[in-house]
Structure 1
Amino acid sequence: MSITDTLGSTLGLGSLGPLEDFLLSLVGAAFVGTFVLLNTAVAGPWAKRKITAAFTDRIAVNRVGPFGLLIIIADAVRMLSKELIIPDGADRPAFDLAPLLLVASALLGFAVVPMGNGIQLADPEVGLAFLFAVASIASVALVMAGYASNNKYSMLGGLRAVAQNVAYEIPLVITAMSVVLFTGTLQTSQIVGAQAETLITIAGVSIPSWYAFVNPFAFVLFIVANMAEVGRNPFDVPEAPTEIVAGYQTEYSSVYFVLMYLGEFIHIFLGGAILATVFLGGPAGPVLPGFVWFTIKIWAFFLFTQWARSALPRVRIDQLIEIGWKGLLELSFVNLLLTAIIVGVIV
């Protein structure tokens, strides 16, 4: 059931006409967008600092509001009130569009993610392919930002970003295809539904057939490739402040910097949403509503990225490319071949 059907039944509407369907779609899109942006607003200015401080034995933000939560508003006012500086020689159309494209590509992905019972904007038959397609648009945005800034450090950051994304996006998709072999569909709701069955019962406890349990090897491969896709340690080479200042976002300020920063964190949550959908049963979970479980799962991935940021050292660019092309790519093909053999024998 899509979110428009859920809203229609909640409001007691019968069959929906084109106008009603359009208006309810707008309301549903507003709800999903608000949910994603609220999570990002908490994660970026506040949670990231508090988590990093906990790992490094510091206090972090605690002065503005209870637990420092009002730093979210303070940072928003501070950043948006700064002067928007455009570097000399910048390619204005590309420079202006890159932050918008980065945010839009991440938000679009949530349109086909099942977030709970009846909370899904769209459910096309090629939903998983759509997810990876729109997420990959971020590479274009990063290259645009690096090239258009007329800055050698930004250009290097943009080139590193696209090299990294190409190197790790192929293993990411191939690993996800091993799940498609099990389910026989690209439809995200069907992938989630296939994980609702019980895999095994131990001492009266039923373990669901989440593909993280069915194929833990693919789960680990997907997490590693996903970390590289969202640019978290040890794969944050495109931003590497000790080498290239801040990479592709070096020249961005004010609202443009806010959008770049926002896009980065939305992509982390989108990565968590894809991981939850493909390997962790989507919004499935005991006792609590599905929407709550979905939120817990994407935040668990965010916490994992922050742990990696504090615990793991950054790899060099040559090591990063070697890990992608000579490590994950081969392992992802091995996983796909073994999965095909297993599915062929069982089915």
Structure 2
Amino acid sequence: MGALALQTEQLLPEQIAELLGLSGVPGEIVGGLIGAFLIANIMLTMTAIAGPWAKRKITAAFTDRIAVNRIGPFGLLIIIPDAVRLLSKELIVPEGVDRPSWDLAPIILPASALLGFAVIPMGDLGPVNIHLADPEAGLAIVFAFASIASVALVMAGYASNNKYSLMGGLRAVAQNIAYEIPLIITALSVVIFAGTLQMSEIVAAQGTALFTIAGVSIPAWYAFVNPFAFVLFLVANMAEIGRNPFDIPEAPTEIVAGYQTEYSSVYFVLFYLGEFIHIFLGGAIMAVVFLGGAAAPIPALEFIPGFVWFVIKIWAFFLFTQWCRSALPRVRIDQLIEIGWKGMLVLSFANLVLTAIIVGVII
């Protein structure tokens, strides 16, 4: 999808309201609710594939095993018995838990990630533009929603009345503070280039060609414009979603399962769900900020719908997280904090200053 088309197309709620013949406030409400339902179900379906099936198959490929292959084609239908097995287990409530916080934590975690997708432009699928809302401060909003996850982890750790869980919650706070600041500062370097916080405008700013080699145009994606910022953002993003080598808040070999030690049945499923939705949200933010959003990598491939390219990009990020899970050892908590405060923070500020100088003086 071209940059101009992205800016002029209707948002998904507006398209739904027009299709239903509604206008005004009722049309906005109905269109928004139906649009949110559709996007939430797309992400939940992708998560259902990623967790019980894709994670196992990818890990098995890295470790030279077979993984699930018995139920359905390629083992895909393992999703159904896995869901039944987990949801039918007894929900065990330990003694002494802070029940309201303990009950709310597994709901807040996936909800915070799903809320983030409200402002993510996912591109077109035929005549439909899959984008719920496009506020001027969209990038700030998506970071705000994503950061709510740390509140859920602290609630789970504190409310569980378990020292391992409490330790996991404290680790989550320390990790999120140490890496969320570099994450946002690195994203600000992109804001300086684009001149806006609006998600669609950030995507549109990457719609031109950076240079052409042998007739092939290299897009002006910020991953190519500023690869140093892209690597910084990737590392900070991995720490933010808590994937290896930064899975310190749950670290099974150290603190059992950290913040989720005392959770079972449907509550465990919600934590598991939230973890994978946050991976996809992290991939979606990277796609929008550094990889041109739903744009095709070369003009010759623009016949493929933008939504397909967007899904490919976030699945590529998911694949990268699983590669890290299989290949990289977990860092210690002291190493993690040192990398964040002494390394990532300094480098992100250096990148921000350098970007400001380049944009202000050279460009």
TM-score by length of 2: 0.93
Q: Which residue does the alignment assign to 2:154?
A: 143
| Residues 229 and 348, structure 2, Cα contact 8 Å, conserved in 1 | yes
For 1:306 and 1:160, the matched residues in 2 are separated by: 22
Q: Which residue does the alignment assign to 1:162?
A: 173
| Residues 146 and 155, structure 1, Cα contact 8 Å, conserved in 2 | yes
Find the partner of 1:207 among 196, 210, 218. 218
Equivalent position amino acid for 2:273 in 1: L
Q: Which residue does the alignment assign to 1:306?
A: 322
Q: Which residue does the alignment assign to 2:253?
A: 242
| Residues 14 and 27, structure 2, Cα contact 8 Å, conserved in 1 | no
Q: Which residue does the alignment assign to 2:360?
A: 344
For 1:184 and 1:138, the matched residues in 2 are separated by: 28
Q: Which residue does the alignment assign to 2:11?
A: 2
Find the partner of 1:257 among 264, 268, 276. 268
Find the partner of 1:42 among 43, 49, 67. 49
For 2:73 and 2:213, the matched residues in 1 are separated by: 44
1:221 aligns with 2:232: yes
| Residues 17 and 30, structure 2, Cα contact 8 Å, conserved in 1 | no
| Residues 6 and 119, structure 1, Cα contact 8 Å, conserved in 2 | no
| Residues 276 and 297, structure 1, Cα contact 8 Å, conserved in 2 | yes
Measured after TM superposition, the shift of residue 331 of structure 1 is 0.3
Equivalent position amino acid for 2:104 in 1: L
Measured after TM superposition, the shift of residue 12 of structure 1 is 7.6
Equivalent position amino acid for 1:103 in 2: P
For 2:35 and 2:294, the matched residues in 1 are separated by: 17
| Residues 210 and 218, structure 2, Cα contact 8 Å, conserved in 1 | yes
For 1:35 and 1:297, the matched residues in 2 are separated by: 15
Q: Which residue does the alignment assign to 1:197?
A: 208
For 1:148 and 1:22, the matched residues in 2 are separated by: 36
Please give the per-residue CA displacement for 1:9-43, whole angstroms capped at 9, x wherever unaligned: 5x284x72221221111111111001100000000
Find the partner of 1:29 among 6, 14, 36. 36
For 1:19 and 1:144, the matched residues in 2 are separated by: 37
Where 1:283 maps in the other structure, the secondary structure is coil
Measured after TM superposition, the shift of residue 273 of structure 1 is 0.3
Contiguous gaps of at least 5 residues in structure 1: none
Find the partner of 1:183 among 194, 201, 219. 194
Aligned residue runs from structure 1 range 97-136, under 5 A: 97-117=104-124, 118-136=129-147
Where 1:207 maps in the other structure, the secondary structure is strand
Equivalent position amino acid for 2:12 in 1: I
Measured after TM superposition, the shift of residue 235 of structure 1 is 0.4
For 1:140 and 1:179, the matched residues in 2 are separated by: 27
Equivalent position amino acid for 2:63 in 1: T
Equivalent position amino acid for 2:173 in 1: V
Aligned residue runs from structure 1 range 55-70, under 5 A: 55-70=62-77
Q: How many residues align structurally?
A: 345
| Residues 3 and 119, structure 1, Cα contact 8 Å, conserved in 2 | yes
Measured after TM superposition, the shift of residue 119 of structure 1 is 1.2
Greater alpha carbon shift after TM alignment, 20-29 vs 37-46: 20-29
Please give the per-residue CA displacement for 1:47-84, whole angstroms capped at 9, x wherever unaligned: 00000000000111112222111111111100110100
For 1:16 and 1:114, the matched residues in 2 are separated by: 23
Please give the per-residue CA displacement for 1:185-238, whole angstroms capped at 9, x wherever unaligned: 100010001000111111111111100000000000000000000111110111
Measured after TM superposition, the shift of residue 4 of structure 1 is 1.7
For 1:260 and 1:73, the matched residues in 2 are separated by: 18
Contiguous gaps of at least 5 residues in structure 2: 1-9
For 1:239 and 1:108, the matched residues in 2 are separated by: 24
For 1:215 and 1:144, the matched residues in 2 are separated by: 37
Q: Which residue does the alignment assign to 1:16?
A: 23
Q: Which residue does the alignment assign to 1:271?
A: 282
Find the partner of 1:75 among 75, 79, 82. 82
Q: Which residue does the alignment assign to 2:93?
A: 86
Equivalent position amino acid for 1:159 in 2: L
For 2:14 and 2:26, the matched residues in 1 are separated by: 14
Please give the per-residue CA displacement for 1:122-156, whole angstroms capped at 9, x wherever unaligned: 10011000010010000000000001000111111
| Residues 179 and 344, structure 2, Cα contact 8 Å, conserved in 1 | yes
Please give the per-residue CA displacement for 1:76-112, whole angstroms capped at 9, x wherever unaligned: 1001101000110000000000001101100000000
Q: Which runs of 4+ in 1 moved over 2 A?
A: 5-9
For 2:157 and 2:200, the matched residues in 1 are separated by: 37
Equivalent position amino acid for 1:98 in 2: A
Measured after TM superposition, the shift of residue 346 of structure 1 is 2.9
For 1:293 and 1:208, the matched residues in 2 are separated by: 14
Residues 12 and 137 from structure 1, CA distance in 2 versus in 1: closer, same or farther, beyond 3 angstroms?
A: closer
For 2:260 and 2:34, the matched residues in 1 are separated by: 33
For 2:29 and 2:357, the matched residues in 1 are separated by: 45
Equivalent position amino acid for 1:324 in 2: G
Where 2:217 maps in the other structure, the secondary structure is strand
Identical-pair percentage: 76
The CA RMSD measured in Å over matched residues stands at 1.1
